[in-house]
Amino acid sequence: MMAPNGGGAWRRALLRSYPWGRDNQGKLSVARSFYTQRTLPAMHASGKCVRSVAIATTHARGLHHQHRCTYYTSSDGKKYNKKIWNSLGIVIIPQQTAYIIERLGKYKKTLLAGIHFIIPFIDKIAYVFSLKEETITIPNQTAITKDNVTLNIDGVLYIKCDNPYNSSYGIEDAVFAVTQLAQVTMRSELGKLTLDATFLERDNLNEKIVTAINESAKNWGIKCMRYEIRDIILPVNIKNAMEKQAEAERKKRAEILQSEGERESEINIAIGKKKKSILIAEGQSFAIKAKADATAEAIEIISNKIKKLDSNNAISLLIAEQYIDVFANICKNNNTVIIPADLNNISSLISQSLSIYNNIQNAKRGNGPPQIESLPNDDLVHCEEKD
């Protein structure tokens, strides 16, 4: 049965029967049906996609009930409202936005950015989605680590709608579901890690949360781009214990570095002393060798000269010179020395030296080993100790 006056009286009665008022911009009056009043408060509170509501405008001749459409509240608080040309079947969609079109209550198609044409009063815009990446703050929550430490942790979730159809018909509130899933996954992953691993494996923990969310939300039309842990708040006693531990570790490292420095210093000193001793020994060896070469050369020269001259007189002169040189420095280095008892009898000493020399020469000619005569004990006397 047709309503009187083409249904105008019925529409006015409907608007008078249900609450209505102006929206946030003060332009439109909304008359909610029984279905809208019972099912949409949570959707309005979340500020996301909602079902169609009845929109009416106020003008000079009274209330005029327009065709139903959907509005969408984005993160910046702006609302999409039905434009006047939508009633003519013209739909202009902004960039990075998707419209879900229903025909007689059934899904028809998804429209993307650009101008589109729909059948007025038959097709309607049921859902509007932003295809931009959105940021959702995960509120602070309590989690327990593997070593039974209670943490307060929060984070930031970056999501994007990649399938508007699934977001419309696959779940009631996709954003709320993803937020709850992120909290549950974060608590679950933290329970597998110790407190120290929570700080060390922060990036790995973020990747695990993203993987778990994408696996569960693949039928919701929502893709988690990344997840970042923002703050990790520790209990006061755990924080104080960690500060003491960090201070002890720093002190330990300082002591280790100091001991290593001292060890390196001692090693360097020992190496320096070793090289010094080696160089001194090499120098002494070189000096002794040089002295021996010089002595051998001098002996050879003297021997050659002795063969040409009167050997006995030459050797006597040489022994006498050396005897005088020795007794000139007799007590310079040692406190106790042994000297012949008769210092004035130089001729006897020379004769003994010549006898030794002759024995050496006879040994060279093959007359047997040299016979070395020693001084009698009576000819030796101890010198007084030098002060």
- Interior/surface letters 67-95, b for 16+ CB within 10 angstroms, e for the rest: ebbbbbbeeeeeebebeeebeeeebebee
Residues 68, 126 within the same domain: yes
Residues 315, 381 within the same domain: yes
Out of 249, 283, 308, a domain closes at: 308
Helix (H) or strand (E) holding 18: none
Residues 8, 61 within the same domain: yes
Residues 280, 327 within the same domain: no
Residues 322, 375 within the same domain: yes
Residues 193, 273 within the same domain: no
- What pLDDT shows up at residue 158? 92
User: What does 256-304 look like in DSSP terms, one character per residue?
Assistant: HHHHHHHHHHHHHHHHHHHHHHHHHHHHHHHHHHHHHHHHHHHHHHHHH
Q: How far apart are CA 162 and CA 222, in angstroms?
A: 6
CATH number at residue 168: 3.30.479.30
Helix (H, G, I), strand (E, B) or coil at 339: strand
Residues 268, 375 within the same domain: no
Which segments of the chain does DSSP mark as H helices, in order?
8-17, 34-39, 41-46, 164-169, 174-190, 195-200, 202-216, 236-308, 311-328, 346-364
Out of 179, 213, 234, a domain closes at: 234
The structure tokens listed for 165 are: 């159809």
Greatest distance between any 2 Cα atoms in the chain: 172
387 residues of the chain, pLDDT tens digit each: 344 444 454 444 444 444 444 444 443 333 333 333 333 333 333 433 333 333 332 332 232 333 333 334 333 334 445 556 566 788 888 998 999 999 988 999 999 988 988 888 888 888 888 888 888 888 888 888 888 888 888 889 999 888 889 888 888 888 888 888 888 888 888 888 888 888 888 888 888 889 988 888 888 888 889 898 888 888 888 888 878 888 888 888 888 988 988 888 889 998 988 888 888 888 888 888 888 888 778 777 777 766 665 556 666 666 666 766 766 666 565 555 555 555 556 666 666 666 766 666 666 566 555 444 444 444 444 444 444
Q: How long a stretch of residues is the chain?
A: 387
Residues 288, 219 within the same domain: no
Q: For 83, left (φ over 0), alpha (ψ -120 to 50), or beta? A: beta
Residues 9, 125 within the same domain: yes
Residues 251, 197 within the same domain: no
Number of domains in the chain: 4
- What pLDDT shows up at residue 202? 85
Q: How far apart are CA 176 and CA 374, in angstroms?
A: 120
Helix (H, G, I), strand (E, B) or coil at 364: helix
Residues in a beta bridge with 142: 152
Out of 97, 114, 130, a domain closes at: 130
Residue 220: partners with Cβ closer than 8 Å, 6 or more residues away: 166, 167, 170, 171, 174, 177, 178
Residues 159, 230 within the same domain: yes
Q: How far apart are CA 165 and CA 111, in angstroms?
A: 11
Residues 9, 107 within the same domain: yes
Indicate the pairing of strand 134-144 with strand 150-161.
antiparallel
Q: Which domain holds residue 338?
A: 310-387
